[in-house]
Amino acid sequence: MSTSPTADDRASLLDHDRRFFDALVAADAAELASLLADDFVMVAVGDGAVVTRDDLLTAVSTGAVRFPVIESFPGEAVVRRVGGTGIVVGRTGMSFTGPDGAPFTADSRYTHVFTTTPTGGWHLLSAQGTQIKPPVAGEAAAV
């Protein structure tokens, strides 16, 4: 089975990714709700916490979590499609403020898993972020 997306699939998945990040920055919970699958789950980049759709929507709508900046790099993204599943592996640079009010800045690699909707669009089903830490002098890169 091929994992190469069509040009339209790539564009559509990267657009959905962009809309997700834009909705976080704008604190637009209604837009986020339209982009996320009902059973969406995210693993947070900062602490590895598992965050449900309702958790994320509540945190964004109440201002408990704020994302002043999310920079993404769609030209670097690896995009794949297998049947009704789309996968985007990308990179971000972001700053956010958590519920405790502490600011957090991170560069990350992420994997977003999408599922097709009955109308032919996409819903974000799962998101996993991993912080990119600068190399420590004298340490070999992990494989």
Mind listing the pLDDT tens digit of every residue in the chain (143 residues)?
677 888 999 999 999 999 999 999 999 999 999 999 999 999 988 788 899 999 999 999 998 888 889 999 999 999 999 999 999 999 999 887 877 777 888 899 999 999 999 888 999 999 999 988 877 766 665 55
Q: Under a CB-based contact definition with an 8 Å cutoff, are residues 89 and 109 in contact?
A: yes
Q: Does 137 fall in a domain?
A: no
Q: Does 33 fall in a domain?
A: yes
Q: Does 140 fall in a domain?
A: no
Q: Does 64 fall in a domain?
A: yes
Range of the structural domain that residue 35 is part of: 7-131
Q: Does 32 fall in a domain?
A: yes
Query: What's the predicted TM-score (pTM) here?
Result: 0.88
CATH number for the domain spanning 79: value is: 3.10.450.50
The whole-angstrom separation of Cα 89 and Cα 63 is 27
Q: How many domains in the chain?
A: 1
Q: Under a CB-based contact definition with an 8 Å cutoff, are residues 14 and 74 in contact?
A: yes
